[in-house]
């Protein structure tokens, strides 16, 4: 059942032994909103903790500093920034998926699995909603709470670049800054810092960029040798996958990653009107309209030819060539 802000705040004020769930593969928004809420509940003298299936990425770890472990049997379970039970991860989902009392979320795809749901799909980030919830709870927002909330607002908007940003997003960020969030530090650590290994991988990858179809299709290749030479981990490949599509005029970008077993994983990113999921479906893959993937088993040259043939067909079908 959907509820209003005031009711959500009242429910949080009147319960205790509260377990807060973040989604698996946690990002800045689920962590920021979960730990801001946890800190607010602790400030009210309650017992509260955050549970997440996966480890917190190092760059976001400040949000959890000094926070208690979730080692109690909860009386009240709150899911934050989690659209479906599946996104909790297997263990957390199995244990708590069917007994979530309150969900605070901004995804219009929310499956309404929780008893009560505070949903605002106009919010760019769950943290934008959580800021209002904590104020409504009557808790004084400390600088570290403000930093947790700023982390979510900034990361879910690509630091205020994406089309989900509203004037309310920007005003929320302004208020969090006034409440003492060190936004400059967070921006620097999250958005303006490349690990040396990633910088090395990026350099190698950029040297591998090739364009086809009169610049409508671009590829980037990352080999196992490049991972070795740069010292980068395979998780750093995600940011490489964005590179081809950023080039002016490119409608289809493909990032090709050599895997340890010798096959190639292909991440396709498209700009409208091209559909990445449709392109990858031709190669037994799938995904979203703007971002999809597949795995190819040939040699790199065979795979390039396969990709080129599929993308050319798609571009022709779209009337682009």
| x/- track of binding to a second copy for residues 122-151 (CB under 8 A) | ------------------------------
CA angle 305–307–311, rounded 5-degree value:
120
Rounded Cα distance between 291 and 309, Å, is 19
Regarding 316 and contact with a second copy (CB under 8 A), the answer is no
Give the strand pairing for 48-51 and 286-287.
unpaired
Looking only at residues 188 through 217 of this chain, which bind a second copy when binding is defined by CB under 8 A? 188, 191-196, 199, 202-203, 206-207, 209, 211, 215
- Beta strand segments in 140-182, E: none
Q: Is the peptide bond before 138 cis (omega within 30 degrees of 0)?
A: no
CB 33, min distance to a second copy, A: 19
Please answer whether residues 269 and 290 qualify as being in contact, where contact means their C-beta atoms are separated by less than 8 angstroms. yes
Residue 115 or 175: the one with the smaller Cβ distance to a second copy is 175
Please classify residue 308 by burial: count the beta carbons closer than 10 Å to its beta carbon, then call 0-12 exposed, 13-18 middle and 19+ buried.
middle
What sign does the CA torsion over 143, 148, 152, 158 have?
positive
Phi and psi torsions of 201, nearest 5°: -65, -40
Indicate which single residue of 42, 43, 112, 170 sits in contact with a second copy (rule: CB under 8 A).
170
Closest to 237 in 3D by CA, of 256, 250, 219, 210: 256
How many residues contact a second copy, by CB under 8 A? 42
CB of 84 or CB of 195, closer to a second copy: 195
Q: Which of 95, 160, 212, 277 binds a second copy (CB under 8 A)?
A: 160
Min CB(267)–a second copy separation in Å: 15
**3-state SS, residue 295:** strand
Instruction: Quote the least distance from Cβ 207 to a second copy, whole Å.
Output: 6
Among 4, 44, 91, 184, binds a second copy (CB under 8 A): 184
Q: Which of these ranges, 24-32, 139-147, 173-181, 225-233, lies near a second copy under the rule CB under 8 A? A: 173-181
Residues at the site binding a second copy, with contacts judged by CB under 8 A: 158-163, 165-168, 170-171, 173-175, 177-178, 183-184, 187-188, 191-196, 199, 202-203, 206-207, 209, 211, 215, 242, 245-249, 271
């Amino acid at each position: 059942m959907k509820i209003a802000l005031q009711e959500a705040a009242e429910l949080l004020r009147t319960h205790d032994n509260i377990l807060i769930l973040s989604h698996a593969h946690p990002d800045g928004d689920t962590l920021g909103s979960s730990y801001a809420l946890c800190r607010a509940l602790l400030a009210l003298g309650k017992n509260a903790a955050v549970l997440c299936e996966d480890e917190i990425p190092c760059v976001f770890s400040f949000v959890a500093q000094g926070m208690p472990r979730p080692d109690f049997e909860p009386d009240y379970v709150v899911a934050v920034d989690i659209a479906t039970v599946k996104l909790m991860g297997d263990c957390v989902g199995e244990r708590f998926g069917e007994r979530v009392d309150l969900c605070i979320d901004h995804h219009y795809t929310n499956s309404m699995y929780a008893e009560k749901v505070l949903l605002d799909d106009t919010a760019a980030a769950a943290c934008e909603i959580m800021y209002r919830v904590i104020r409504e709870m009557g808790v004084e927002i400390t600088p570290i709470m403000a930093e947790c909330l700023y982390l979510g607002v900034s990361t879910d908007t690509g630091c205020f670049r994406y089309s989900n940003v509203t004037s309310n997003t920007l005003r929320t960020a302004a208020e969090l800054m006034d409440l003492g969030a060190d936004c400059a530090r967070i921006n620097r650590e999250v958005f303006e810092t490349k690990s040396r290994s990633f910088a090395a991988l990026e350099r190698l990858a950029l040297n591998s960029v090739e364009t086809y179809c009169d610049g409508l299709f671009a590829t980037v290749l990352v080999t196992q040798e490049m991972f070795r030479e740069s010292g980068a981990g395979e998780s750093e490949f995600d940011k490489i996958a964005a590179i081809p599509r950023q080039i002016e005029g490119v409608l289809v970008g493909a990032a090709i990653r050599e895997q340890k077993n010798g096959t190639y994983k292909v991440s396709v990113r498209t700009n409208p009107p091209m559909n990445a999921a449709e392109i990858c479906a031709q190669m037994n893959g799938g995904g979203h309209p703007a971002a999809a993937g597949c795995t190819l088993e040939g040699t790199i040259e065979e795979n390039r030819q396969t990709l080129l043939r599929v993308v050319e067909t798609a571009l022709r079908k779209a009337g682009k060539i």
